[in-house]
Homo-oligomer: A and B are copies of this chain.
Amino acid sequence: MDPHLLRTLVAVVEHRSFSAAARALGYTQSAVSQHIASLEADLGTKLVERRPVGPTGAGERLMEHAGPLLLRLDAARADIARLRAAPPTRLTLACTPAALTPSLAAALARVRRGAPGLAAGVRVLGPDAVVRAVLTGEADLGLVDGAAAPNDPLPLPDAGPMATVGVAEEPLAVLLPAGHPLAGRPALRLADLADAHWIDAPDTAVPLAQLRAAAHTDGFRPRLAYGGGDLAGLVRLVAAGHGLAATGLAAAAGQPGAVAVRISAPRLVHRTEAVHPRTPAEPVRALVEALGHTA
Contacts and interface: CB of A to CB of B under 8 A. Distances in A.
Interface of A: 1-3, 43-45, 57-58, 61-62, 64-66, 68-69, 72-73, 75-77, 79-81, 83-84, 149, 151, 157-158, 160-161, 216, 267
Contact of A73 (B69, B151, B161): B69
Contacts of A62: 76, 79-80
A44 to B, nearest CB: 7
29 contacts: A1-B3, A1-B76, A1-B77, A2-B2, A2-B3, A3-B3, A43-B80, A43-B81, A45-B80, A57-B83, A58-B83, A61-B79, A61-B80, A61-B83, A62-B76, A62-B79, A62-B80, A64-B161, A65-B72, A65-B76, A65-B160, A65-B161, A68-B72, A68-B160, A69-B69, A69-B72, A151-B216, A158-B158, A267-B267
Nearest to A44: B84
Contacts of A73: 1, 69
Contacts of A57: 83
Contact of A45 (B3, B72, B84, B267): B84
Nearest to A279: B61
Name A's interface SS. Answer: helix
Contacts of A267: 267
A80 B83 CA distance: 36
A66 to B, nearest CB: 8
Contacts of A66: 76
A14 B160 CA distance: 21
B149 A45 contact: no
Contacts of A76: 1, 62, 65-66, 69
A295 to B, nearest CB: 16
A66 B216 CA distance: 35
Contacts of A61: 79-80, 83
Nearest to A79: B61
A77 B47 CA distance: 13
A83 B45 contact: yes
Which residue, A2, A61, A64, A77, has most C-beta atoms of chain B within 10 A?
A61
Nearest to A158: B158
Nearest to A65: B76
Contacts of A79: 61-62, 65
A45 B79 CA distance: 12
Nearest to A76: B65
Nearest to A61: B79
A55 to B, nearest CB: 12
Nearest to A42: B77
A58 B149 CA distance: 36
